[in-house]
Amino acid sequence: MAELKELEELLRRLRGKNGCPWDREQTHQSIKRCLIEETYEVAEAIDEGDDQKLKEELGDLLLQVMFHAQIAEEEGRFNISDVIATNIEKLKRRHPHVFGDVKIKDTEEVLVNWERIKNAEGKGSVLDGVPSRLPALFRAQRVQEKAARVGFDWKDPAGVVEKMEEELAELKQACNQKDPQQVEEEMGDVLFSLVNLARFLLVCPEEALQGSTNRFIRRFKFIESELQHQGKTPQEVCLEEMDALWDKAKQRIQ
């Protein structure tokens, strides 16, 4: 598209001899955090259902992709055309049921076949494709999903609940022994088992925890507001008084 070409030329100018000093100084490493931040801003715009914001944030994310490709081009490694061509080839290779003669019956078969194709591409493990920098809950979910697609999974939610109860018992035991390292490990096992249960219940643990955290924020702000109307602050009242306001907040705020 003409616009994509214009953006490519704009980046070349920004990075050029008479371009922007800041843009010229950037490296893959220095702007890595920008890519991560823009990705989260896209997700936020999706959650808010704001099309204008989503359009802008997708543009910012595209800019980051183009920026990294421009840096690579200057170093003689690859360019944005190579990025796009590689992606097109990968999409066709991983969708043989669309671009080939493979027959599939449902989404589950698509996902299983997708993992089979990725393994054939030379990955050492079915789990190698899960980025280490994903948020912990989301990463645990993706690891479990990939293991499940090759048959390593519980038969039903009851087994997951039993495992979760087992992990909770081990956490209690670690707490009684007052071993910080063991407590941390057992807490991780409890969280991992909770993610497994969420997966079986078709709940995204990352989204569920975000929702709970957002509700907590809204309700705690209600407590602060109510206390402010009384001329008080949270530091000046007892826990019982804040608990009463919390119960009031739960009735009013979802």
| Any domain includes 131 | no
Tell me how many domains the chain contains.
4
- H/E element, 96: helix 96-99
Give the distance, in angstroms, between the CA of residue 126 and the centroid of all CA atoms in the same chain: 19
Instruction: Check pLDDT > 80 for residue 44.
Output: yes
d(CA 61, CA 42): 8
CATH number at residue 23: 1.10.287.1080
Residues 145 and 174 in one domain: yes
Cα(27)–Cα(38) distance, rounded to whole angstroms? 17
Verify that 25 and 103 share a domain, yes or no. no
Tell whether the model's pLDDT for residue 52 goes beyond 80: yes
pLDDT tens per residue across span 11-33: 999 999 999 999 999 999 999 99
**Predicted local distance difference test score (pLDDT) of residue 116:** 84
Task: Choose the final residue of a domain: 65, 90, 115.
Answer: 90
Are 118 and 140 in the same domain? no
Residues 119 and 53 in one domain: no
Full residue range of the structural domain in which residue 187 is found? 136-203
User: Of 191, 193, 68, which Cα lies nearest the Cα of 135?
Assistant: 191
What is the rounded distance in angstroms from the CA atom of residue 23 to the CA atom of residue 32? 13
Does residue 130 lie in a domain region?
no
> Any idea which residue has 């214009």 for tokens?
6
Question: Distance from first CA to last CA of the chain, Å, rounded?
Answer: 45
Which two tokens mark 233? Answer: 């602050």
Residues 14 and 85 in one domain: yes
156, exposed or middle or buried, with CB in 10 Å at 0-12, 13-18, 19+? exposed
71 inside domain? yes
pTM for the model stands at: 0.73
pLDDT digits (tens, 9 = 90+) for 121-137: 876 788 888 888 889 99
Q: Does a structural domain hold residue 46?
A: yes
